[in-house]
Amino acid sequence: MNKKIDILLTRYFIGEATAEEIQQVDQWITESKENENYFTGFSSLYQNLLTSSVQIPKLDLNKAFDRFAEP
Protein backbone atom coordinates (compact mmCIF):
# COMPACT_ATOMS: atom_id res chain seq x y z
CA MET A 1 0.00 0.00 0.00
CA ASN A 2 1.17 3.51 -0.45
CA LYS A 3 2.33 5.74 2.35
CA LYS A 4 -0.37 8.37 1.73
CA ILE A 5 -3.25 6.00 2.54
CA ASP A 6 -1.45 4.79 5.68
CA ILE A 7 -1.21 8.41 6.86
CA LEU A 8 -4.88 9.02 6.03
CA LEU A 9 -5.94 5.85 7.84
CA THR A 10 -3.90 6.78 10.89
CA ARG A 11 -5.48 10.24 11.00
CA TYR A 12 -8.91 8.66 10.44
CA PHE A 13 -8.62 6.22 13.34
CA ILE A 14 -7.20 8.69 15.85
CA GLY A 15 -9.88 11.24 15.04
CA GLU A 16 -7.60 13.79 13.40
CA ALA A 17 -8.90 13.44 9.82
CA THR A 18 -10.61 16.37 8.16
CA ALA A 19 -13.98 15.95 6.45
CA GLU A 20 -12.17 15.85 3.10
CA GLU A 21 -9.77 13.16 4.34
CA ILE A 22 -12.67 11.07 5.64
CA GLN A 23 -14.25 11.30 2.18
CA GLN A 24 -10.96 10.21 0.61
CA VAL A 25 -10.79 7.17 2.91
CA ASP A 26 -14.41 6.26 2.23
CA GLN A 27 -13.88 6.52 -1.52
CA TRP A 28 -10.63 4.54 -1.36
CA ILE A 29 -12.36 1.71 0.56
CA THR A 30 -15.01 1.35 -2.15
CA GLU A 31 -12.48 1.22 -4.99
CA SER A 32 -11.50 -2.42 -4.49
CA LYS A 33 -11.89 -5.48 -2.32
CA GLU A 34 -8.16 -5.28 -1.60
CA ASN A 35 -8.62 -1.76 -0.19
CA GLU A 36 -11.60 -2.93 1.88
CA ASN A 37 -9.55 -5.82 3.29
CA TYR A 38 -6.62 -3.49 4.07
CA PHE A 39 -8.98 -1.13 5.89
CA THR A 40 -10.48 -4.02 7.86
CA GLY A 41 -7.00 -5.18 8.89
CA PHE A 42 -5.99 -1.65 9.87
CA SER A 43 -9.21 -1.29 11.84
CA SER A 44 -8.62 -4.58 13.64
CA LEU A 45 -5.07 -3.53 14.52
CA TYR A 46 -6.31 -0.22 15.91
CA GLN A 47 -9.04 -1.92 17.96
CA ASN A 48 -6.50 -4.37 19.38
CA LEU A 49 -4.22 -1.51 20.36
CA LEU A 50 -7.08 0.25 22.13
CA THR A 51 -7.94 -2.82 24.18
CA SER A 52 -4.38 -3.87 24.99
CA SER A 53 -2.65 -3.01 28.22
CA VAL A 54 0.24 -1.43 26.33
CA GLN A 55 0.48 2.30 26.90
CA ILE A 56 0.54 4.19 23.61
CA PRO A 57 2.14 7.62 23.91
CA LYS A 58 0.28 10.67 22.62
CA LEU A 59 1.85 11.70 19.35
CA ASP A 60 2.33 15.13 17.84
CA LEU A 61 1.28 14.10 14.33
CA ASN A 62 2.33 17.34 12.68
CA LYS A 63 5.82 17.05 14.10
CA ALA A 64 6.02 13.38 13.07
CA PHE A 65 4.76 14.09 9.54
CA ASP A 66 7.26 16.93 9.15
CA ARG A 67 10.08 14.65 10.25
CA PHE A 68 9.19 11.87 7.83
CA ALA A 69 7.90 13.99 4.95
CA GLU A 70 9.38 13.25 1.60
CA PRO A 71 11.94 15.83 0.45
Length of the chain: 71
Q: What is the pLDDT along the chain (71 residues), one digit of tens a residue?
A: 588 899 899 899 888 899 999 999 999 999 999 999 999 998 888 877 767 666 666 767 777 777 776 55
What local confidence, expressed as pLDDT, does residue 37 receive?
A: 94
Number of domains present in the structure of the chain: 1
List the domain range (segments joined by +) for residue 14.
3-68
d(CA 20, CA 46): 21
pTM of the model: 0.65
What local confidence, expressed as pLDDT, does residue 65 receive?
A: 72
What local confidence, expressed as pLDDT, does residue 14 receive?
A: 85
Query: What contacts 24+ positions apart, CB below 8 Å, involve 14-18?
Result: 14/61, 16/61
What local confidence, expressed as pLDDT, does residue 47 receive?
A: 79
